[in-house]
Chains A and B, each alone.
Chain A
Amino acid sequence: EVQLLQSGAEVKQPGESLKISCKASGYTFVSHWIGWVRQMPGKGLEWMGIIHPGDSDTRYSPSFQGQVTISVDRSTTTAHLQWSSLKASDTAMYYCGRHRAPSSYDGFDIWGQGTMVIVSS
């Protein structure tokens, strides 16, 4: 079964660092772009960026460029989203998603279950 399994919920203080994960299974990890999507409480979906696990080619939304880092670990078929210094405004649900077709821009056909990040002092 093709699936993306995300790490569990996090509660952090402002200024702390964080790295959340998205483990892929059931398909050839290096073939499909993986992306991250933010959903703030009660709000819509925001595209953050994508990475191609085959060569680590990464594209960011201007809104998130410099604010987060997207990476992959091919040895564990895991994608990561990390922050060096969290803000309260980073409080949101974060989803990873897989592009439907190999090595192509496409819709997200497989989604992780989401990781809730709460940043509060």
Chain B
Amino acid sequence: DIVMTQSPDSLAVSLGERATINCKSSQSVLYSSNNKNYLAWYQQKPGQTPRLLIYWASTRESGVPDRFSGSGSETDFTLTISSLQAEDVAVYYCQHYYSPPFAFGPGTKVDIK
């Protein structure tokens, strides 16, 4: 089974500054047949349901602000918030969907400095 790890566990960033979250999978989640990385990112604000931000590692879900971007391939991925806003305070999770079980990472908590 593929294991997901994230770093850091938490970070505090000033408003308007960049936040970077890393995600690593224990094996590649890149399907060679379609050249897609089976990796998603979610945001979960306090007391709320998770929200899909990014799929295929870098495709933004409809309605997600363009300050959120995803990058990476195979085993190493990054979620970047280019200019942190107050409403971005949340826990962010990566998840692979390469082959079941589709594990989530442990989460990264983002706060305002």
Residues of A within 8 A of B (CB): 35, 37, 44-47, 49-50, 59-63, 95, 97, 99-100, 105-109, 111-114
Give A91 to B105 CA distance when docked, in angstroms: 21
Please name all residues of chain B whose beta carbon is closer than 8 Å to the beta carbon of A59 when the two chains form the complex.
Answer: 100-101
Whether B49 lies near A114 (C-beta < 8 A) is: yes
Question: Contact partner of B104 among A45, A99, A100, A109, CB < 8 A?
Answer: A45
Interface of A is mostly: strand
Give A108 to B52 CA distance when docked, in angstroms: 7
Q: A50-B100, A60-B101 are in contact. Are A109 and B52 (CB under 8 A)?
A: yes
Please name all residues of chain A whose beta carbon is closer than 8 Å to the beta carbon of B61 when the two chains form the complex.
Answer: 100, 107, 109
B68 at interface, CB cutoff 8 A: no
Chain B nearest CB from A81 CB (Å) reads 15
Q: How many interface residues does chain B have, given as a range?
A: 20 to 34
Q: List 16 A-B contacts (CB under 8 A).
A: A44-B104, A44-B105, A45-B44, A45-B50, A47-B95, A47-B101, A47-B104, A50-B100, A59-B101, A61-B100, A95-B50, A100-B55, A106-B97, A107-B97, A111-B50, A113-B49
Whether B93 lies near A44 (C-beta < 8 A) is: yes
Q: A50-B102, A59-B101, A62-B101 are in contact. Are A45 and B93 (CB under 8 A)?
A: yes
Chain A nearest CB from B97 CB (Å) reads 4
B38 at interface, CB cutoff 8 A: yes
Give A25 to B8 CA distance when docked, in angstroms: 38
CB interface residues, B 73-111, toward A, < 8 Å: 91, 93, 95, 97-107
Please name all residues of chain B whose beta carbon is closer than 8 Å to the beta carbon of A111 when the two chains form the complex.
Answer: 49-51
